[in-house]
Amino acid sequence: MVDALTGIADKGAASTRKWWFTPTSNHPDEITAITQAATNKLFDRGITFATRPCLSAGQRHSCVMGVLIKRLSFVNVHPYYITCTTW
């Protein structure tokens, strides 16, 4: 998957287009070493990541969202807004 996305990004760069991907992450445990390796490789190829994490009913503690935001930032994924599910 990473190779396919970097191929697309290379074609886009040749035509001066900027690629943005918006993965969805809702819990810090979703950010693994595999996630980090993939996002770092794509980031190095000029792909920008933005996400909109969802604060669900099971994550009412702000500390869970805080850890998620820190882990996303560590792997070059930037939250651009946070959504909430029905409480």
Model confidence pLDDT, tens digit, residues 46-77: 788 888 777 666 655 667 788 888 888 888 88
Instruction: Classify strands 83-84 and 48-51 as parallel, antiparallel or unpaired.
Output: unpaired
What lies within 8 Å, CB to CB, of 74 at 6+ separation is 31, 36
Q: How far apart are CA 78 and CA 38, in angstroms?
A: 15
SS3 53: coil
Mean pLDDT on 14-19 = 71
Of the chain, the end-to-end C-alpha distance in Å amounts to 35
Note the pLDDT of residue 59: 57
Note the pLDDT of residue 26: 78
Q: How far apart are CA 59 and CA 62, in angstroms?
A: 7
How does pLDDT run across 25-37, given as a tens digit for each residue? 878 888 899 888 8
Its pTM surpasses 0.85: no
For 42, the token pair is: 């794509």
Q: Which residue has the tokens 């909430």?
A: 84
Q: How far apart are CA 69 and CA 51, in angstroms?
A: 10
| pLDDT for residue 86 is more than 60 | no
Note the pLDDT of residue 33: 92
